[in-house]
Amino acid sequence: MSLLGPGSARRRARTVSALPLLLLVLLGALLAAGCGDAGADAGGGGERQGGRGPERGGGGGFPGGGFPGAGGGGGAGIPVEVAEVVRRDISDLLQTTGTLEAEQEVDVVARIAGPIVELRVEEGDRVRAGGLLARIDDRELRAQLEILRVAVDEARANHERAQASFEAQIISKETLDQTSARFESATAQIRGTEIQLGYTQVLAPFDGLVIERAVKLQEFVQNGVRLFRVSDFDPLLCPVQIPEKDLGRIRLGQSAYLTVEAFPGDRFAASVLRINPVVERGSGTVKVTLAVRGEGRLRPGMFASVHLRTDIHQDAVVIPKRALVLESIGDTVYVLEDGVARRREVSLGYDEADLVEVISGLQPGERVIVVGQDSVSEGTPAYELAARVGPTAAQRGEGAQADAAVGGEPPASAGTSGGPGARAGGQQPGAPGGSPGGGFREIDWNDPAAVERVKAMMRQRGLTDSQIEERLERMKAMGTGGRPGRS
């Protein structure tokens, strides 16, 4: 019998049933406390990464968790590479592609049937005009030639006797003519056989290179069979198709240069040799043939990028193309002035290879940032990498961030440990001289036309479609360049 009453039993049952609930509450409190500590650690890590903690030596710190010196007081700034604005001639280029061809390239064929008894050359050998390439067996022709020579001697003797008999009026004129015809026929057969005998020696038609040997030793060949292919590489030709609208920019003798993948960075001089007088109906293009100086390195069949000079600006203001900021709608560069990056809007003119003409916005002698400009904004402290011998105390341990900045990429911590300002190279929104997104013009991701303009500009700067998509995704994720699209 229980000593407790019915009410006590009910209270004990409620207490027992409430224990699991209390345990759950206590466990939730412990978990919440742990998450709070982790958040504090993360916040402290952000401050330490931003330069506020004692591990960084104090100082003014790096606002927004940016690079050393981005907020001033903690370091020398972002390491960059610069190039001087110079004056030089720059050309307006009409660019196209073509395949190199040889001016002289022929197949050498057999002129007589017989086995190949001698091969004198191999593929790649240089030959002179009239040089021996191969020899066909000539023994049978030489035997026939000896027989014909005997027949000629006999025909000559008969003709001479007939001539004497005719003068003595022993034979008629008709008989004399018959002996003369037999003598001339035998002589002609000798000449024909000598020609056939000459065909047994396969000769080079001109100076050039043997680019193909299509016959083997002791192989029996028929008349007309291809034996060799000989090509003359000087000069080489490069036919290209020029749009009808650009025909007025082309003239005979116009200078050009070619580049090929086999010799990156090398330019091969060329000039316009022929302009076809007819516009092709289907494509609306004109065939233009260029003569190319191959310098002993170019080969027929090479694919070439052709650059036709249609105009030239002398003593123009020129900068490297890589100084242009890709993630900007307009044409923008950053100039390093007194250790600070200054944003400049520029107007561009002709571009040639890796250089571009600046019509306005820059002066000769100024220094534009060519590596690291994607990690700075207006007013960001920066220093020229070449002038720095080693890392400063504030930069030790930041090798990965500095390398990323020099390579034109923001560090891994940017935009993750110091707030929104770090996403634009360490400048906080609203900083003097800056603009949202690190000084770039805003891009409305909901406006397809604006996005296409950015893509078109990136294509002009030499980026592939995959690189463009990767940059746009990164810009969206980092909040660079404007307003993110609505989800």
Question: Coil, strand or helix: which one is 430?
Answer: coil
Tell me if 106 sits within 8 A of 230, measured CB to CB.
yes
Least confident range of 52-56, 176-180, 238-242, 309-313: 52-56
Q: pLDDT-derived band of residue 443, with 50, 70 and 90 as boundaries?
A: low
pLDDT in tens, 155-169: 999 989 999 998 888
Count other Cβ atoms within 10 Å, centred on residue 132. 15
Count other Cβ atoms within 10 Å, centred on residue 130. 11
Q: pLDDT-derived band of residue 254, with 50, 70 and 90 as boundaries?
A: very high
**pLDDT at site 376:** 85
Q: What is the largest CA-CA distance in the chain?
A: 179
Averaged pLDDT for residues 194-222:
93
Q: pLDDT-derived band of residue 77, with 50, 70 and 90 as boundaries?
A: confident
pLDDT in tens, 322-336: 888 876 677 889 999
pLDDT in tens, 9-47: 444 444 444 444 445 445 544 544 444 444 444 344 433
Question: Coil, strand or helix: which one is 119?
Answer: strand
Tell me if 307 sits within 8 A of 257, measured CB to CB.
yes
Mean of per-residue pLDDT scores for the chain: 75
Beta-sheet strands, E only, within 141-206: 201-203
Contacts of 198 (CB under 8 A, 6+ apart): none
Residue in the structure block whose two tokens are 């980092």: 478
What are the residue ranges of helices labelled H in 275-362? none
**pLDDT at site 354:** 85
* pTM of the full structure: 0.50
